[in-house]
Chain A
């Protein structure tokens, strides 16, 4: 924390700031909603949210929709971590593998994951695998890039010291390269999680029976303002929750 803000306001007040901004946001929202029919009030949205928790919307309750999206994101996330870290380490570790495969990766990387959706639907149909595949593409790229960066920018003195201290190839990988690149890998994982959410919403908007993206699209078709808002709020909240969990996790697995 910088000393400046500490001195400018007492600590307790600072802790209230996020709450204050939330309140301000809700007030502005409320005022705006009063002026126009194009926006539901926060209170109406909250009521709808409460109702959707218990009464099914599009056949299932709200938590079911969240759960459906969550499962897709997390399944893709797990695959992306495995593949991204593996490839990233290989790129950073082996000059030859890097020179051989990196150009292809560089070529594919800028294609937005959402642009893959039509192809993926043609290949995998409109079931779960295709949604997971889209999220996977969105998640794997940041993990791979950050892992590669972490490994390739590792100070060579560390490798040299470890070798001289008796580390073999495998120990070098598990005791030096992976922990050395871990901060970078975690950064990649953090980005990948939000990017996975973006992709799952997009994928669900195109073809799904449940999930938050599906909820938004359905509500749009039926002109159901509050449901759209509820889904948006939930997307924001779930992401927020994950970022928060992630920063906690980071402190535990990467305390240096």
Chain B
């Protein structure tokens, strides 16, 4: 257990009377791609808000690298459910925002920008403002902006919720490529089970409210995964059953 990147222990969060997260305990391993699936409204966004220490838990604790979570010293990043690309910056400036705020040296900024823009296929629109590009490109900008920092721990909250299904597969490949090239530990929240099975090395399945962990499913299919293969469909159905079974 000591080799875990992130340790979550007995995490509980309630809003007044309403108990949303009930006693969650899990680990995230270094460099891992972990997905969290759960029904709508079960508290997935709440979980991420706790993990990013935006909110404080009612009970329990979160450690990164064995130390209590502190966003000032730990390099973590967050892609929100709603789009958050800054409309007043161009695509390229958006991708560089975090690196400039953190005062990365110019050569590093240039190199990371190239890397990220290439992987996310944004080169052709780098001078454009966000209202001039598609919703999928805008979301890629936000994802790129986070990956460019090579965060230790990257939280993604259904970054494709608003996107067309046909863009998703392409983006998912891009995210996996970024995960591998940056070595960032990723926690990806979704309510789309197919997406989770396509991406994750492990998948945490949440129950309905009050939310607890129903199962942790290891998915050891090789990448890139074939969404039509029998193994893939079997895992997908298994997780779907777990969520439906409630």
Chain A residues in the interface with B (C-beta under 8 A): 155, 157-158, 160-162, 164-168, 171, 175-176, 179-180, 182, 254-256
Contacts and interface: CB of A to CB of B under 8 A. Distances in A.
Contacts of B86: 158, 161-162, 176, 179-180
B52 A164 contact: yes
A157 B129 CA distance: 18
B80 A165 contact: no
Contacts of B84: 155, 157-158, 160-161
A38 B196 CA distance: 81
A256 B87 contact: yes
B101 interface: yes
A171 B99 CA distance: 13
Given A171-B101, A176-B86, A180-B88, A164 B129 contact: no
Given A157-B84, A165-B97, A171-B101, 9 more contacts: A160-B78, A161-B80, A161-B86, A164-B71, A164-B77, A175-B97, A175-B101, A179-B89, A256-B130
Contacts of A161: 78, 80, 84, 86, 142
Contacts of B98: 165-166
B182 to A, nearest CB: 15
B131 A256 contact: yes
Contacts of B102: 165-166
14 contacts: A155-B82, A161-B78, A162-B97, A164-B52, A164-B71, A164-B76, A165-B97, A165-B146, A166-B102, A167-B101, A176-B86, A182-B88, A256-B88, A256-B130
B54 interface: yes
Nearest to A176: B86
Nearest to A181: B88
Interface residues of B, number: 24
A166 B24 CA distance: 28
Contact of A157 (B77, B82, B89, B145): B82
Nearest to A182: B88
B149 interface: yes
Nearest to A167: B101
B89 to A, nearest CB: 8
A155 B142 CA distance: 15
Contacts of A164: 52, 71, 76-78
A176 B88 CA distance: 9
Q: Which 8 A/B pairs are nearest by Cβ-Cβ distance?
A: A165-B98, A166-B101, A179-B88, A256-B129, A166-B102, A161-B84, A157-B84, A167-B101
Interface in B119-175: 129-131, 142, 145-146, 149
B172 to A, nearest CB: 22
A157 B88 contact: no
